[in-house]
Amino acid sequence: MTARRDCLHKHAADELDSLIRWALWERVEGASPPSYVWDSIRAHVERPTVWSLLELGFAGGYRAATVQLQRIGAVLSALITFLVWPRSGWVDWRREPYFICLLGQYGFLLDLTF
Amino acid sequence: MTAQYADGWLVVRLREGDLDSLGELYERYKTLVYRTALAITSDEGAAEDILQEAFLRVYTYADRIDETLPLGPWLYRVTVNLAYSWTSRVKRWWCSLQDTLDHLVLSTQCHPEAMAEEREWRQVLQQAIDALPARHRVVIVLHYLEGLSLKEIAYVIDVPEGTVKSRLYYAREKLRKAILERERRLVPEVAYDCT
């Protein structure tokens, strides 16, 4: 019985590694999942539940909304460039309340999108 | 290499709705997922649930899986994440109660003549592995049971390689201490018998 302890001191690394490997293998040796697990997976996949259908519907709706928001973002971006960007001379556009408001809305839309 | 391409081909077929491809992937990887989940959770029911959930994710997220890469590492990652979730859901009081009961049962059977040395060592080590924090247990299982390299483990659990190395070191140290502690408790009795 004491031999194991001695080994642990003398050949510490190798002995400990082997012991750990052995203990782990002992636990899972020959372990195999029962056949009903696959039956259950197949049943889930073939007969989607109400919840999974709702989940799919929600995901689809979210994707569609994201695409719409991206389009709105692109239009707004072009509009801002056209209306606000100074075309002649220096304008302190960064302090323009209209611009700040538009920028805020655009930022909010980008947040929603990504 | 052939297996890698075959995985990718099956994933592509699965995206097109071919359930037989999912069955083929399941047959190929079911033992790997189940064994890893069982080693981390020590619970057959949990391992079955994790196996089921992992393959439902393969089905659900087939379009996000990179078909040019082997499926194994992706499945390891999903399995480990699901096992983490499971271990965090399990109530601590239940674990403590189970540990206490195991300890009581073990101590009543702990006469050297009543218990074979190998069985005892297995129990000691398995209890010590179970007592490790989940993040350490995962690294131990992936390294010693699944034979993954540090780099592969780093990919699976999504941490730097140095972190894996340090977790492995601390986990080994904890196991070593647990074994020596157990020895300290058992040896005087045995030494008395021997003299």
Using one digit for the tens of pLDDT, what is the confidence trace for B93-109? 455 545 555 554 554 44
Token pair, residue B65, equals: 């899986």
| Buried residues in B6-27 as b, exposed as e (16+ CB within 10 A) | ebbebbebbeeeeeebbbbbbe
Name all contacts of A33-36 with Cβ < 8 Å and 24+ positions apart. Answer: A33/B30, A33/B31, A33/B34, A33/B47, A33/B48, A33/B51, A34/B48
A82 belongs to a structural domain: yes
**How far does B6 lie from chain A, in Å, by closest CA?**
21
A103 belongs to a structural domain: yes
Q: Which residues constitute the domain of residue A105?
A: 53-113
Which residues in chain B are contacts of A19 at CB distance < 8 A?
121, 125, 175, 179
d(CA A59, CA A57): 5
Same structural domain for residues B68 and B4?
A: yes
Same structural domain for residues B53 and B30?
A: yes
Token pair, residue B169, equals: 């070191």
Which residues in chain A are contacts of B176 at CB distance < 8 A?
8, 12, 16
Q: Which residues constitute the domain of residue B126?
A: 91-195
CATH number of the structural domain spanning residue B42: 1.10.1740.10
Same structural domain for residues B97 and B182?
A: yes
Taking an 8 Å cut-off on Cβ atoms, the answer to whether B38 and A28 are in contact is: yes
Q: Longest C-alpha distance within chain B, in Å?
A: 73
Q: Which residues of chain B have pLDDT under 70?
A: 1-5, 90-118, 186-195
Number of domains in chain A: 1
Same structural domain for residues B42 and B78?
A: yes
CATH number of the structural domain spanning residue B147: 1.10.10.10
Number of domains in chain B: 2
A29 belongs to a structural domain: no
Same structural domain for residues B134 and B189?
A: yes
Q: Which of B90, B122, B143 is the last residue of a domain?
A: B90
**Cα separations (Å) of B74 from A85, B29, B33, B140?**
48, 11, 11, 18
Query: Using one digit for the tens of pLDDT, what is the confidence trace for B2-35?
Result: 454 588 899 999 988 888 899 999 999 999 999 9
In this prediction, residue A16 has a pLDDT band, given cuts at 50, 70 and 90, of: confident
Q: Which of B58, B90, B122 is the last residue of a domain?
A: B90
- By Cβ distance, the residue of B39, B55, B187 closest to A5 is B187
Q: What pTM did the predictor assign? A: 0.64
Same structural domain for residues B38 and B118?
A: no
A95 belongs to a structural domain: yes
C-beta of residue A28 within 8 angstroms of C-beta of residue B129: no
Same structural domain for residues B97 and B193?
A: yes
Taking an 8 Å cut-off on Cβ atoms, the answer to whether A19 and B144 are in contact is: no
HSE-up of residue B120 (Cα within 13 Å, Cβ side): 19
ipTM of the complex: 0.72
List residues of chain A with CB under 8 Å from any CB of chain B. Answer: 1-2, 4-5, 8, 12, 16-17, 19-28, 31-34, 37-38, 40-42, 44-46
Residue B159: what residue type?
V
Assign residue A30 a region (left: φ > 0; alpha: ψ between -120 and 50; beta: otherwise): left
Residue contacts between A and B (CB atoms, under 8 Å): 101
